[in-house]
Amino acid sequence: MITPKSTKEYLAESLVELMQNKSLKNITTKDIAKNCHLTSTTFYNHFKDKYDLLSWIYNNRIGYFIDQINETYDWYHAAIDSLTYIKENITFFQNALKNANGQNSFRVSTYNINYNAALKIILKVNPAFSENSINIFTLKLYFYGVMEIISEIILSVQEFEPIDIAKKLMEGMPEKARECLVRTEEWKS
């Protein structure tokens, strides 16, 4: 069954397409709307500005994989799929990293998506996790580090394999968090 796209999805696809050949700082909301045959008014009915749209893209593309986590699809698999999506759209992510700062930046948005989702899952599995402040500290430290490493990988010109990066991310994850987030041993091979 074909699922119709929302206006937000059309605007997101438009921005991703435009960012393949043009710097984010040189793209206007009018450009985004025009590229998908919409008006600027329509754009502003859905987003405050292009950075708000950028944040929506992170939440809906990267967040999608995290939202799929269940008994058989764990954090490891979500990491592979997120990294694969990033690799497939590397020019977009490079452009976003170079041209967006602050609360709508890739680093801040994806940190918030990952940390908040991980903590929610961990607390569901192990409610006592948050009682030890070092657990929260190491989880925050881990996700800050992950975002910096992923950003570094995106900005480098080197090819990367999502499965290799995902395995390293699982190895570096604090053990108490990994016990709650990773249900497979595949990452060890």
Count of Cβ atoms closer than 10 Å to residue 72 Cβ: 8
Residue ranges for the chain with pLDDT beneath 70? 1-2
Burial (CB count within 10 angstroms: exposed 0-12, middle 13-18, buried 19+), residue 146? buried
Residue 2, pLDDT score: 66
The full DSSP string for 147-175 is HHHHHHHHHSSS---HHHHHHHHHHHS-H
pLDDT at 153 (0 to 100): 95
| Number of neighbours of residue 33 by Cβ within 10 angstroms | 21
Enter the pTM of the model: 0.90
Secondary element (H or E) of residue 79: helix 75-88
Long-range contacts of 148-154 (CB under 8 A, 24+ apart): 148/107, 150/83, 150/86, 150/110, 151/97, 151/106, 151/107, 154/86, 154/90, 154/93, 154/94, 154/97, 154/106
What's the pLDDT score for residue 114?
94
Model confidence pLDDT, tens digit, residues 18-73? 999 999 999 999 999 999 999 999 999 999 999 999 999 998 988 899 999 988 89
SS percent in the chain: helix, strand, coil, step 5: 75, 0, 25
Supply 1's token pair.
């069954």
Q: What is the CA radius of gyration of the chain?
A: 18
